[in-house]
Every structure is written in C-alpha cells, then in structure tokens.
Amino acid sequence: MTFIMFAFLGCDMTEVNNQGENLNEEINYTLTEPVVEVVDLSDFGLKNATDINDRGDIVGGFHYWEQSSQSLMELDFLARALNNKGQVVGGNKFWDSTSGSTTIKGLDYMGVVSSSVLVFDINDDGDVVGEVDTCTAYDHWGDIPDDYCEYDFFSMQWNTETRTTKEMEWFSTAISNNNKNDIASIAYMLPPHDIHVSIGNFGTYEEFGHGEPNSINDSGVVVGWITKKDDSQSNLIVNSENGEKLQSDLSLGSKLLRLTKSTGSYSVDHVVEMLRNGTFAREGNLDISNFKLGNVNQEGMRGNWSISEQDSILEAAKSASFSSKAFIWDVQGGLQSLGTLGGEWSTAFDINNKGQVVGYSDIGNGEYRAFYWDQKNGMIELPSDGKNSIARAINNHGQIVGYNDGPVMWEITVPELDTHLAKGRR
C-alpha cells in the first residue's frame, strides 16, 4: 500500500512516509491538492479491475469482489460493469447473487437468421445498454444463396424485470446509461460526429472529427475521446452519380476499435501504437491475447468484414494519425478538451456524480499513465511507480480502479472539491 500527498500549503505540514505513518506528530498541515492512497488489488485475488460501485465492490476479468463479505466470486464471463446493487454485466451476460448468470438473448423476429448481444453498462434500476447484431434474410428477397444474410447492428436495452432485448437506433451502439436512463451512444448515422446523447444534441464542434463516449453521470455529463477533424477519414458514403450524401459509414477509428474489441477499453491512438510496435497481444489487462495482426477470424471481430477487409482496416489505421483527446461535455457547457499529460493523446473512461473524471494519457515517450481530473485541479497523473497505467472507473467516494502492472485501486481525497459539475458546468 502506498500513500501519496500531491501538495501542501506553506511550511506547516506533517511528513508522511509511504505507509502513511506520521514522522512528526507536532506539525500540522493544510492540504490544497488531492491525496492518493494506492491499493494492490491482486492481494484480494483479482487479476483485472474494470469497474467499482459505491459499496466498494469491484469487477474485473472473470471475478467479482464483494466488499461487505470480503469475498471473491468467480463469474462465467468477462465482467464489464456493475451497479450499486451488485448486479454485473459483460459480454452477453447478466449476473446477480440471487439468480446467478443469465444470457441476454438477441432478436428473434421473422427473418432473423442469427442475433447476438454485447452489453456495456447497467444502472441501479437494472437497465442494461449495449449493442445487438443481427443477420437477416427474407423469402421475398428472391434468388439468393441459402447461407446469405444481411448484417445490421442497433443500440439496445434490456431490463432485469422484463428480460427482453429491445432494439433502438440502427447503426448505433449504446455505451453508457445513468440512473435516469439517459444514454450516451456512438450513433454513426449522425455525421460529422459519432457521439449522441439522449438528453440533447451533442452539438457542433468544427475543429473535431469523430469520437466516442465512455460514460454519462446522473447529471447528464458525458466523457470520452474525440479526434481532430481529418477529411481523409470522412465517414460519409456518397452517391457516386449525384454526390448526394446517403448515410454515414463507420470512421476508420471506430472500425479499428470494433475490430479489435477495444471500444470503451483503449484509446484509438494507443491501439495504433500497439499495432505498430507489435505489442497488442502482450497487453495483459484485457482478454485480447489471441489477437494478432492478419489473424483475425469471424469469431474475433464485431462486424461482417472479410479477412481482407479486416487487414485493410488494420493497415490503414497503422498509417493514420488520430490525435484523440479526452473530453467532457454537458448541455450547458458544451465540449471541453481535458488535454493530456504531455503526450499526443488521452481518453476519459468514467465520470462520477461529483464531476471527477478518470482515464489515461500518453506522456510523450511511448508510455502512458492513468489520470484523475476535476474542474478545480485539472488533469493529474496518478502514482504508478513509473509503470504504464490506466484508470477505468471511479465511484462517488473517489475510489478509482484500473491497471498498473496488475489490478490497482487509487483512493483519492480532494479537499473542498468544487462539485458544481454535479449540477452542470457553468
């Protein structure tokens, strides 16, 4: 366990060692910046840490840590998110301690040949959001091969009470929902940008191209990543006869993240760096060990790209420049870039109801670090002992989970934090 104080005011302070023991009890201190305590979660049997709720329960990999009972439970799927009731989702599964694991089924109406679900988030009412993929074929289509079907995908909802998968927007993926069931989505039908929020229009941002949301809090504040505009990566399909814009296609960055199953898990720039360096398969914090360039099969992808199309996407991405930045957005304040820790890219993964944001950033030397951000203190690098790190989730008590050469929790205390983000930025 490591205990770190970022800053103090004046000379009146208590010296603290890395176990948090006072070296001089007679001197008082006044904190002006965040205090961070670091906990190695591998001591609790966890191998990954992707989400934490307000009770201190943690999920990651195939495990769920219940704080109240101090027990580690094994799951039969890769956990993605959990709510404050201890309900867990990931892949196409839902789990709670009462009913165990439940498969979230796809669509089954007439014409559906196959359908699958990928879930991303769950709120405290048990509303689950994600994506449902379908392959459809109809008799009236005429003379088509028996094994042909047309691929589509939709953002979806599923509830623990009705247990019925409901499709929403076509060509869209629902990434996060809050406790009011406001939803942040990647909506590819809304050019020039991909981000859509159910509580209002994400707005125009002329200098930016596309992006993806990762989290929405109960006040409707959204965080994620967004790239600079690049006309060479336009995501519009154009009618070649009259130049009319027919619909939007996935941007190159979105295709890359879908193909590598990195949506909501990595920065697009980081994926490109790993592909260029041949290190993608060696990243140990996610279940991507079987991914290798030129060896992605139908089982290992989201979409209906052929092997040659997959390779084309990967090769195009390796030569592209994305320069994505972490952002925060709400209806009142619009879009704000959070900057970086000195490098070229950053991504925000989560925001709590106090407006505290976590994610990770390039630091300019081929390495990356977890960050914490709030409106008062800006972006702060979380302690990592000089190792690569990623902060994935933060609860309303300032407990952050992520990766730092293994699963880790940072517990952050911010004196007199200005929590106006919880009521909307001004």
Q: Average pLDDT for residues 386-411, to the nearest whole number?
A: 96
Query: Which DSSP string do the residues of 314-363 spell out, in sequence order?
Result: HHHHHT-----EEEEEETTTEEEEEE-SSSS-EEEEEE-TT--EEEEEE-
Q: Average pLDDT for residues 328-342, to the nearest whole number?
A: 91
pLDDT by residue (tens digit) across 392-402?
A: 999 999 999 99
Q: Cα–Cα distance between 187 and 39 in angstroms, integer? A: 37
Comparing C-alpha atoms, which of 228, 220, 216 is closest to residue 349? 216
Neighbours of 327 (CB within 10 A): 24
pLDDT (0 to 100) of residue 214: 96
Phi-psi region of 342 (alpha: psi -120 to 50; beta: other; left: phi over 0): left
Q: Cα–Cα distance between 176 and 128 in angstroms, integer? A: 9
Q: Cα–Cα distance between 63 and 49 in angstroms, integer? A: 9
| % residues pLDDT > 90 (the chain) | 51
For residue 219, pLDDT beyond 90: yes
| % residues pLDDT > 70 (the chain) | 77
| Residue 206 or 46, more confident | 46
Q: What is the CA radius of gyration of the chain?
A: 22
pLDDT by residue (tens digit) across 8-45?
A: 233 333 233 333 333 333 444 444 578 889 999 999 99
Q: Average pLDDT for residues 53-61, to the nearest whole number?
A: 97
* Structure tokens, 298: 């139908």
Confidence band of 416 (pLDDT split at 50, 70, 90): low
Q: Tokens 């048990």 identify what position? A: 126
pLDDT by residue (tens digit) across 230-283?
A: 644 444 444 444 444 444 567 788 888 888 888 888 999 999 998 888 777 655
Percent helix, percent strand, percent coil in the chain, to nearest 5? 10, 40, 50
pLDDT (0 to 100) of residue 298: 34
Q: Lowest-confidence range among 134-148, 161-175, 297-311, 373-387?
A: 297-311
Q: Average pLDDT for residues 387-391, to the nearest whole number?
A: 95
Q: Lowest-confidence range among 108-112, 201-205, 422-426?
A: 422-426
Comparing C-alpha atoms, which of 280, 285, 284, 270 is closest to residue 346? 270
**Angle at CA of residue 425, ends 122 and 127, nearest 5°:** 10
Domain regions of the chain by residue span: 33-74+206-230+325-426, 76-204, 249-320
- Residue 267 near residue 347 (C-beta atoms within 8 A): yes
Q: Which of 43-57, 127-141, 324-338 has the highest mean pLDDT?
A: 43-57
Beta strands in 166-279 (DSSP E): 166-170, 172-177, 183-187, 195-197, 208-216, 222-228, 236-238, 245-248
- Residue 333 near residue 310 (C-beta atoms within 8 A): no
Q: Lowest-confidence range among 143-157, 313-327, 371-385?
A: 143-157
pLDDT (0 to 100) of residue 188: 78
Confidence band of 136 (pLDDT split at 50, 70, 90): confident
Longest dimension (CA), the chain: 88
Phi-psi region of 249 (alpha: psi -120 to 50; beta: other; left: phi over 0): beta
What is the residue-averaged pLDDT of the chain? 80
- Measured between alpha carbons, how far apart are the two ends of the chain, in Å? 38
**Angle at CA of residue 329, ends 193 and 187, nearest 5°:** 30
CA–chain centroid gap for 208, Å, is: 20
Confidence band of 227 (pLDDT split at 50, 70, 90): confident
Neighbours of 249 (CB within 10 A): 17
Q: Helical H runs in 187-319?
A: 252-259, 268-277, 307-318
pLDDT (0 to 100) of residue 287: 38
Predicted structure pTM score: 0.84
Q: Average pLDDT for residues 305-310, to the nearest whole number?
A: 79
* Structure tokens, 214: 């990762």
Beta strands in 49-205 (DSSP E): 51-52, 58-60, 63-66, 71-74, 81-82, 88-90, 93-96, 100-103, 112-122, 127-136, 150-159, 166-170, 172-177, 183-187, 195-197
**Cα-based distances in Å from 204 to 220, 224, 306, 339, 368:** 18, 16, 34, 19, 30
Neighbours of 328 (CB within 10 A): 22
Confidence band of 372 (pLDDT split at 50, 70, 90): very high
Q: Which of 39-48, 149-158, 299-308 has the highest mean pLDDT?
A: 39-48
For residue 144, pLDDT beyond 50: yes
Confidence band of 121 (pLDDT split at 50, 70, 90): very high
**Angle at CA of residue 103, ends 100 and 107, nearest 5°:** 155
Neighbours of 91 (CB within 10 A): 19
For residue 103, pLDDT beyond 70: yes
Q: Average pLDDT for residues 208-229, to the nearest whole number?
A: 89
Q: Average pLDDT for residues 192-201, to the nearest whole number?
A: 76
